[in-house]
């Protein structure tokens, strides 16, 4: 009743860039929150960093997306750009592998936003909680963001 025992998990931005509402992402799977809830970032940097301590649960084959699971069991997805899987190694370099334990701020993926945009793809990057049943609340903090430093969201557990 008074919030005793409730736990909060603060996540830092996985990318440097500006805030984009998830509903403004040019892909209905993200914009309608079918894949989860969160925020998107229009990147100005070139490195995805771990938003928290956790385990890498997935590194997609083209390295355009990475999944991180927190100690509390919250599953996060960072998806670089829209329809970017076909760009493969030309634009993305994975710096971790599935099963790795990572620390907040640790580099996960390097990418080339200019190549993504040159290929006619949107570089906007959704950052989602993919198992919202694990959280009680989500508070988003406004950008701009600095990867590995600026708080982007707080989750009530």
- Domain containing 99 — which CATH number? 2.70.70.10
Residue 32 in any domain: the answer is: no
If one compares 81 and 90, the residue with the highest pLDDT of the two is: 81
Q: Using alpha carbons, select from 154, 157, 135, 156 the residue that is nearest to residue 12.
A: 154
Number of structural domains (the chain) is 1
Residue 123 in any domain: the answer is: yes
Residue 31 in any domain: the answer is: no
Q: Does the active-site annotation cover 79? A: yes
Domain encompassing residue 51: 8-26+37-130+139-156
Catalytic residue among 49, 69, 79, 121: 79
Residue 2 in any domain: the answer is: no
The pLDDT tens digits of the residues spanning 31-72 come to 999 999 999 999 999 999 999 999 999 999 999 999 999 999
> Is the N-terminal amide bond of 144 cis, ω within 30° of 0?
yes
Confidence of residue 86 (pLDDT cuts 50, 70, 90): confident
Residue 53 in any domain: the answer is: yes
């Amino acid at each position: 009743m008074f919030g005793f025992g409730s736990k909060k998990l603060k996540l830092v931005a996985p990318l440097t860039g500006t805030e984009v509402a998830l509903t403004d992402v040019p892909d209905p799977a993200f914009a309608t929150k079918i894949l989860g809830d969160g925020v998107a970032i229009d990147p100005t940097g070139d490195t995805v960093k771990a938003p928290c301590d956790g385990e890498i649960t997935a590194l997609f084959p083209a390295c355009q997306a990475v999944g991180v699971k927190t100690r509390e069991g919250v599953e996060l997805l960072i998806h670089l750009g829209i329809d970017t899987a076909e760009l493969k190694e030309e634009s993305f370099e994975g710096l971790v592998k599935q099963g790795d334990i990572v620390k907040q701020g640790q580099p996960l993926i390097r990418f080339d936003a200019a190549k993504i945009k040159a290929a006619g793809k949107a570089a906007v990057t959704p950052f989602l909680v993919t198992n919202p049943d694990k959280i009680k609340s989500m508070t988003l903090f406004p950008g701009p963001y600095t990867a590995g430093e600026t708080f982007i969201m707080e989750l009530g557990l």
